[in-house]
Structure 1
Amino acid sequence: MDFLSLEQSVWRRLQEETRPIALYGMGDGADKILAQFERLGIRASAVFASDEFARGNLFHGFCVRKLSDTVAELGEDIVIVIAFASQRAEVLQLMYALEDKYDVVAPDVPVVEGPLFDEDFVRAHQDEMQRAYDLLADDLSREVFLDTVRFKLSGKMEYLRHSESDKDEVFHNLLRPTAEEHFSDLGAYNGDTIRELLHYTDGKFASVTALEPDRRSFRKLNEWASANITGDVTLVQAGAWNEDTVKCFTDQAGRQSRVSGQGKETQMRALDSVLSGRPCTYLKMDVEGAEREAIAGAEKTIRQYAPKLNIAAYHRSEDFFQLPLLIHALQPSYRLYLRHHPYVPAWDTNLYAI
């Protein structure tokens, strides 16, 4: 398949744009997009925020205004660049409503530092992308794959909406958890994905093993688990890795805490070491770009038990096609699925292996 034929690059389009370009949002995403603008010679004309956050503060030298003030200055014939991420339904509706009136794009920048998903990237990875696409087990997975390519190239939100599905579809049709699950949760955060599993098993489980490196998130996880679940529960304040070691870790008290070149020294553990041969029937990984290392650290478990897998496949530009190839090499018996759950940009795009 010629993946390059699916859409035009949003970056090239913005380079050629003659209308004013206004960024919607501040923070890490906007930082990354403006860095690419500078690299590619793209000029932003304004930055605006939702009305409750527009206080006239400065961001990269721009006075952050309301959309109405931005339009009053630049006119309605503008290009709006969404520069933040959200899964909240009310925020997504605001984003989609902008499309009804303006030319809106949401350029894809990787969560973890790495190459952009542009034409050169697609040319370099065409063969891998084709092999991953051919491995997918159902039509929806293949549509998610193509829409992910289309979105990452074009920045058009319509592609995210076209093939999205909710978590109920995954849990009822693919994962189908039971009361006998031995659940391993890598990147357990505050216990949200443990609660998610228990919602579908009427609160029952065989065992839970959870790793979370961030100290404040781990404290919340421990407090919640102590108050709400009993049984075979093992909580480990550590990050998931390919071996037991110590790494520097950003201490951001949230989902984007990750291994870094600087930060707080943090214990890292291989799941195989933590479990020491104990069973695992359902394994979830959302480890902020360290999925390859976490998979390597769970290799024995995956080969021996073939647990159902739920793996974040969006932190790096290549995750949605390289992680399926990696899992297939470890356990060829798996049926592989991709699903995108409501989010802008293409976050919460996950690989499921059954």
Structure 2
Amino acid sequence: MNQAIIIGSIGLWRKFLKDTLEEEGINTICFVDTVESGMSYSGVPIITPEELPRYTKGFNGLVLVTFPVNNSRRQVFLDKVLGYFEKPVHVLSFKEVYKKYKNTLLKARNVGDFWLRENYDKNRALSVIDLLSDEKSKHIVESWIKFRETLDIDYLVEPEEPQYLPDDLELQRFIPNEYSFLDVGAFVGDTYLFIKKKLAEYGKKLVLYTGIEADQKNFSELVKTVQNAKNEDEKDILLNIACFSQNTFLEFSETGTTLSSVSSFGQKNNESHKIKVFANALDTTFKGFRFDIVKVDVEGSDIECLSGMKEVLVNSRAIVMACLYHRPEDVYEIPEFFEDLFDDYSFFVRAHGTFYIDTVLYAIPKP
């Protein structure tokens, strides 16, 4: 079995797995992905499931599944992909892939991808556990630390859905019937659509949506999303700026994907190009504003962004959702920041993605 087809994976992790397979004499012939289809990495095409028949005729290699199949949506996708193979094939599950090809994880750690970078303060990470308000949150952070230390796949926690409104936290209880939402790192409006729809089920009405997105391509899609979905009496503020601790200009890679500020290994035809964008301390932009929900997901500048909006956060006394997975320091710097900033808040951590991607800190004001 000297050929492989990889289902899923993204960016650097795609590269690491492909390179690990090559070291063992296994050639990756394609990646299957609905998000980045039409791209390629190092001559290996990224295709949709419908394109698989071009690659599966006579195929007798490995099929590597790079995500846990933990919900019906993923199971349907996997079944669809496997349905395109002419005969039964050797399929490695998510855990089997990363146990058998553990060098993939070592490569990720060696280059410091996302939160796997080694130069972090373990003692500060451990101390954060005492700030958290439930046993699930403490278990997630403890497991995160153990996985960093060992790269043992068994320390991964099961991702849970839905992101930003996890069922067990019942955030709707803390949100007024008419609410405002500050969405920092709004991407193309996916969180806007989800939160608006989900809270409507509880009789909640969005009256002001404020979306901040630095990537021009994503911002254009965000504008379309809001224009198509907003209610007649719903107000919106959409800004094509970055968020930082001070007013300045920042340079980042524009890709029009969720990886706007990090290097991507799957580019269409040419590499992403560097652009300069205006970065704003949101305390200067939204002086006097109050929000009921604040979400921050800005690809590694999260603590800088939060530092530039202290007044907004304190004055709003909002539910704050901040991503913890972009840098290893985030897991302690952001909870420490909130602990110093807020009075009478509870802090919860939930992991919504594989490998602790989409791990979010929920800061909730106490009644």
CA deviations over 1:41-80 (Å, ceiling 9, x no partner):
x945334366758xxx996599998796445xxxx9xxx7
Q: When the two structures are aligned, how many residues end up with a matched partner?
A: 314
In the alignment, which residue of structure 2 is the partner of 1:205?
A: 206
Q: Deviations over 1:156-189 (max 9, x none)?
A: 5444344645448625624223432221100111
CA distance in 2 between counterparts of 1:127 and 1:134 reads 12
Match of 1:98 among 77, 92, 98: 92
Q: Matched residues in 1 for 2:45 and 2:238: separation? A: 45
Q: CA deviation at 1:314?
A: 0.7
CA–CA distance in 2 between the matches of 1:204 and 1:24?
42
Partner residue, 1:235: 238
SS in 1 for 2:345: coil
Answering whether residue 346 of structure 2 is matched by residue 348 of structure 1, we say no
Q: Deviations over 1:115-135 (max 9, x none)?
A: 8737x65xx622201211111
Give 3-state SS (helix, strand or coil) of 1:148's partner: helix
Residues 266 and 107 of structure 1, relative CA distance in 2, 3 Å threshold: same
- Cα shift at 1:258: 1.9
Match of 1:152 among 141, 148, 153: 148
Q: Distance in 2 between matches of 1:100 and 1:32?
A: 16
User: CA, structure 1 residues 237+63, in 2 after alignment: closer, same or farther (shift >3 Å)?
Assistant: closer
Q: Unaligned regions of 5+ residues in structure 2, if any? A: 34-38, 47-54, 82-90, 264-272
Residue by residue over 1:301-323, the C-alpha shift from the partner in whole angstroms, topping out at 9 and shown as x without a partner, is 12222211111111112322332
1:133 counterpart letter in structure 2: I
- Asked if structure 1 preserves the Cα contact closer than 8 Å seen for 2:183 and 2:212, the reply is yes
AA in 2 matched with 1:142? K
Q: 1:266 to 1:128 in 2, by over 3 A?
A: same
Equivalent positions of 1:25-174 (< 5 A) are 28-30=11-13, 33=16, 43-48=23-28, 69-70=60-61, 82=66, 89-90=74-75, 98-99=92-93, 102=96, 104-105=98-99, 107=105, 109=108, 117=116, 121=119, 125-162=121-158, 164-167=160-163, 170=166, 173-174=169-170
Structure 2 counterpart of 1:8? none
Partner residue, 2:261: 258
Letter in 1 for 2:197: H
User: Could you say if the C-alpha distance between residues 195 and 165 of structure 1 is closer, same or farther in structure 2, counting changes exceeding 3 Å?
Assistant: closer
Quick check: 2:211–2:239 contact (8 Å CA) kept in 1? yes
Aligned pair 1:194/2:177, yes or no?
A: no
Conserved? CA contact 2:299–2:326, under 8 Å: yes
> What is aligned with 1:316?
327
1:248 touches 1:259 (CA, 8 Å); kept in 2?
Answer: no
C-alpha contact 2:18 2:28 (8 A) present in aligned 1: no
Give the secondary structure class of the aligned counterpart of 2:289: coil
Partners of 1:47 and 1:301 in 2: CA distance: 52
Give distance in 2, aligned partners of 1:225 and 1:213: 16
2: CA distance, partners of 1:114 / 1:168: 24
The 3 A distance-change label for structure 1 pair 34 and 104 is closer
TM-score relative to the length of structure 2? 0.70
User: 1:268 is paired with a residue of what secondary structure?
Assistant: strand
SS at match of 1:280: coil
Separation in 1, partners of 2:223, 2:40: 39
TM-score, normalised via structure 1 length: 0.72
Name the aligned partner's letter for residue 131 of structure 2. L
Q: Is the 8 A contact 2:211 2:238 kept in 1?
A: yes
Partner of 1:328: 339
Task: Give the root-mean-square deviation of aligned CA atoms.
Answer: 4.2
Q: Kindly, what percent of the aligned residue pairs are identical?
A: 22
1:240 offset after TM fit, Å? 1.3
CA distance in 2, matches of 1:99, 1:35: 16
Aligned match of 2:315:
304
Deviation string, structure 1 residues 282-335 (Cα, Å, up to 9, x no partner): 100110111011101111112222211111111112322332122212224321
Q: Which structure is higher in strand share?
A: 2
Structure 1 counterpart SS, 2:355: coil
Residue equivalent to 1:17? none
Task: Please tell me whether the aligned partners of residues 251 and 276 of structure 2 are also in contact (alpha carbons under 8 angstroms).
Answer: yes
In structure 1, how many angstroms separate the alpha carbons of the residues matched to 2:259 and 2:94? 32
Compute the displacement of 1:344 (Å). Answer: 2.4
Write the letter of the residue equivalent to 2:126: Q
Residue 279 of structure 1 is matched in structure 2 by 290
